């Protein structure tokens, strides 16, 4: 048995763990990083990276079918499904070195390729090594949640951890779960030649603004994706080569393959948290505003500590922990400025409060600014002028933004910046955007705030007329 003493011991080499390890070691701390599975975690291997690569393959196929309005003859794409998956694998391989053991050891991190388990409030066991540290960080991420649907155990199914390895194209993919993962995979597979049915127990894309979600869902239906809402799966069975999903209301959906995409669960089973004096609530590790657990030596970041299970949240948490654990300076995490995006076509993005949330909180003080993508010249030229942006404003300050349309994931960055820094709507209205760009949408919706104040105000008109009389 070996024993190690270190400044910082990080459990998990996903986005949060890697960011903390890289930052801490370069700032002079002695760092041990534990990872029993794959470096890069879910994002690199099973999540953000492969899903966006498959979406890109689907877009390439779809472009061949969507050229008629540009005067380009429609063509039927000849899809090599295994080739599309090879593209996914190549993207992962290209990014992999950045997250590799070799890179982090080169930075000076002591990487131990074992799972970590607490054996006391101040010690972790990883293989044959016992680690004592001044501070610990739990960054173990999350895994696909597999619900206890009767019959599921007798039917072959995929999750996001296995779907990207499948090289044989499904004839008809059934997806249980209409959240971001389910809808992204639905569209990617449909564009790659599969029939697709999404089975959602409540509302598809239900965590987003309903008006914005409907813009996306309508387009997915137009592409031939069947979306069944309020369809809670009650039984799953196999009949010959066909998989059948029966819902509580008696509907039966049939397909050749099944993907489970109902959500995620924090990876805490191996940690032995009780012995470390760390508390959980509904599966999440309980942390204070500084991301510390009840054990003051231990922090938790990312999916194990937040219901906002996004890679960029783990990266944000990393900065909080580095500041607190390494410099002893106070640092608190917040959530009001955290954006998210769903990379369907069109995209869907949100930061801050939705319109309904803002109305509940602020009532009559709320102003909702709206601008249709139909008014953007660049998107008109691109033949993609469909979408909507809504910005929720209280006393001149944006408190939320919802976007559905092309490049929504890029457009939302502006509003994340505004909300994070407490800027007023005038800061965007005063911005000069190059013409013609999609980014003009943000300036145009900000301008909506001033329309009634400048162009519909009788007082402004009287002042202008009076000034005109005095001008030479």
Q: Where are the domains of the chain?
A: 2-39+100-144+265-327, 152-262, 339-455
What's the confidence (pLDDT) of residue 158?
98
Confidence of residue 179 (pLDDT cuts 50, 70, 90): very high
CA distances from 457 to 86, 188, 394, 460, 463 (A): 60, 49, 20, 5, 10
Nearest to 423 by CA among 363, 352, 348: 352
User: Homologous superfamily of 339-455 in CATH?
Assistant: FAD/NAD-linked reductase, C-terminal dimerisation domain (3.30.390.30)
Can you give the pLDDT at residue 453? Answer: 79
pLDDT tens track for 302-315: 999 999 999 999 99
Binning pLDDT at 50, 70 and 90, where does residue 462 land?
Answer: confident
Give yes or no on whether 2-39+100-144+265-327 and 339-455 have one common fold.
Answer: no
Per-residue pLDDT at 461: 73
Instruction: Assign 9 to helix, strand or coil.
Output: strand
3-state secondary structure of 291: coil
CATH match of 2-39+100-144+265-327 with 3.50.50.60 = yes
Q: What are 399-445's pLDDT values in tens digits?
A: 999 999 999 999 999 999 999 999 999 999 999 999 999 999 999 99
Cis, bond preceding 346 (omega within 30 deg of 0) = yes
CA angle 224, 309, 275 (to 5 degrees): 140
Per-residue confidence (pLDDT) for residue 463, from 0 to 100? 72
Q: What is the mean pLDDT of residues 147-167?
A: 97
pLDDT category at 448 given cuts 50, 70, 90 is very high
In tens, the pLDDT along 182-239 reads 999 999 999 999 999 999 999 999 999 999 999 999 999 999 999 999 999 999 999 9
Among 116, 97, 86, which Cα is nearest to 9's? 116
CB atoms within 10 A of CB 360: 11
Distances (CA, A) of 23 to 20, 102, 291, 321: 5, 16, 17, 10
pLDDT of residue 452: 81
Per-residue pLDDT at 469:
80
Lowest mean pLDDT among 78-87, 183-192, 250-259, 446-455: 446-455
* pLDDT value of residue 451: 84
Rg of the Cα trace of the chain?
Answer: 25
**Average per-residue pLDDT in the chain?**
96
Q: Which CATH architecture describes the domain 152-262?
A: 3-Layer(bba) Sandwich (3.50)
**Angle (deg, nearest 10), helices 311-327 and 15-26:** 30
Task: State the pLDDT at residue 472.
Answer: 77
464: pLDDT strictly greater than 90 = no
d(CA 111, CA 133): 15
Please check the confidence at residue 460 and state whether its pLDDT lies above 70: no
DSSP 173-214: EEEE--SHHHHHHHHHHHHTT-EEEEE-SS-TTTTS-HHHHH
Please determine, for residue 455, whether its predicted confidence score (pLDDT) is greater than 70: no
d(CA 66, CA 266) in angstroms, rounded, equals: 41
pLDDT at 458 over 80: no
């Amino acid at each position: 048995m070996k024993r190690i003493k270190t400044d910082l011991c990080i459990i998990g080499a996903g986005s949060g763990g890697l960011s903390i390890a890289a930052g801490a070691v370069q700032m002079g701390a002695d760092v041990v990083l534990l990872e029993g599975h794959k470096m890069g975690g879910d994002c690199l291997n099973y999540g953000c990276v492969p899903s966006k690569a498959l979406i890109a393959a689907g877009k390439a196929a779809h472009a061949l079918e969507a050229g008629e309005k540009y005067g380009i003859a429609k063509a039927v794409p000849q899809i090599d499904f295994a080739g599309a998956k090879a593209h996914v694998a190549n993207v992962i391989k290209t990014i992999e070195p950045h997250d590799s053991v070799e890179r982090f050891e080169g930075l000076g991190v002591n990487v131990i390729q074992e799972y970590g388990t607490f054996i006391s409030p101040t010690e972790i066991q990883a293989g044959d090594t016992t680690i004592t540290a001044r501070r610990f960080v739990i960054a173990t991420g999350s895994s696909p949640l597999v619900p206890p649907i009767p019959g599921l155990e007798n039917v072959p199914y995929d999750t996001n951890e296995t779907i990207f390895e499948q090289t044989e194209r499904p004839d008809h993919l059934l997806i249980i779960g209409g959240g971001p993962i389910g809808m992204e995979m639905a569209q990617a597979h449909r564009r790659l030649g599969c029939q697709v049915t999404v089975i959602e127990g409540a509302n598809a894309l239900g965590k987003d603004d309903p008006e914005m979600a409907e813009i996306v869902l309508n387009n997915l239906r137009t592409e031939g994706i069947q979306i069944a809402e309020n369809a809670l799966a009650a039984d799953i069975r196999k009949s010959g080569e066909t998989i059948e999903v029966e819902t509580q209301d008696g509907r039966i959906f049939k397909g050749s393959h099944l993907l489970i995409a109902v959500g995620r669960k924090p990876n805490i089973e191996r940690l032995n948290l009780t012995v470390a004096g760390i508390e959980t609530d509904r599966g999440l590790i309980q942390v204070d505003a500084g991301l510390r657990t009840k054990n003051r030596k231990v922090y938790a970041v990312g999916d194990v500590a937040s219901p906002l299970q996004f890679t960029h949240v783990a990266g944000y948490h990393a900065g909080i922990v580095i500041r607190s654990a390494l410099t002893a300076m106070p640092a608190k995490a917040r959530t009001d400025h955290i954006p998210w995006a769903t990379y369907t076509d069109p995209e869907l993005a949100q930061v801050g409060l939705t319109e309904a949330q803002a109305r509940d909180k602020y009532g009559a003080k709320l102003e909702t600014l709206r601008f249709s993508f139909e008014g953007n010249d660049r998107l008109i030229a691109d033949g993609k002028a469909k979408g909507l942006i809504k910005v929720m404003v209280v006393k001149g300050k944006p408190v939320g933004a919802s976007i559905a349309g092309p490049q929504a994931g890029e457009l939302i960055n502006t509003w994340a910046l505004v909300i994070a820094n407490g800027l007023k709507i005038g800061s965007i209205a005063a911005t000069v955007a190059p013409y013609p760009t999609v980014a003009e949408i943000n300036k145009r919706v900000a301008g909506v705030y001033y329309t009634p104040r400048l162009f519909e105000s009788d007082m402004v008109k009287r002042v202008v007329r009076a000034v005109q009389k005095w001008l030479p």
